[in-house]
Amino acid sequence: MTRAPTSRIYKKHETERMRIHPHKVDFAHGYPASADMFYHCLNCDDFVPSLPGESIGCQCRNVFIDTEAGRLSIKNDCRVLLVELHDNG
């Protein structure tokens, strides 16, 4: 079992062979970011890496990470889950 690379967005169908570990997080305390975490947007089902190599956002722009400004913005965090993706091969 290997961790999925975290440099790009995964689409829902790409995660079907992966195991998804949700992390229970209170977003009121901020948005965590680490190399193995993704933000799963429940509006458009994109999985956005929390530490991308360059600025990136989900399809509906509910989640947007601006690497130049060092800012992670989420419009509606009730529609977002923080998850870890494990690739089963």
By CB under 5 A, the residues from 1 to 40 that bind Zn ion are: none
Closest C-alpha among 42, 43, 87, 34 to residue 65: 34
The answer to whether residues 62 and 44 touch, using CB atoms and an 8 Å cutoff, is: yes
Cβ distance to Zn ion smaller for residue 4 or 48:
48
Give the separation between CA 56 and CA 7, rounded to whole angstroms: 10
Cβ distance to Zn ion smaller for residue 2 or 38:
38
Q: Which amino acid, residue 46? A: D
CB 2, min distance to Zn ion, A:
26
Q: By CB under 5 A, is residue 83 in contact with Zn ion? A: no
By CB under 5 A, the residues from 36 to 65 that bind Zn ion are: 41, 43-44, 58, 60, 62
Cβ distance to Zn ion smaller for residue 35 or 42:
42
Q: Can you tell me whether residue 68 is helix, strand or coil? A: coil
Q: Can you tell me whether residue 74 is helix, strand or coil? A: strand
Summarize as ranges the residues that interact with Zn ion (CB under 5 A).
41, 43-44, 58, 60, 62
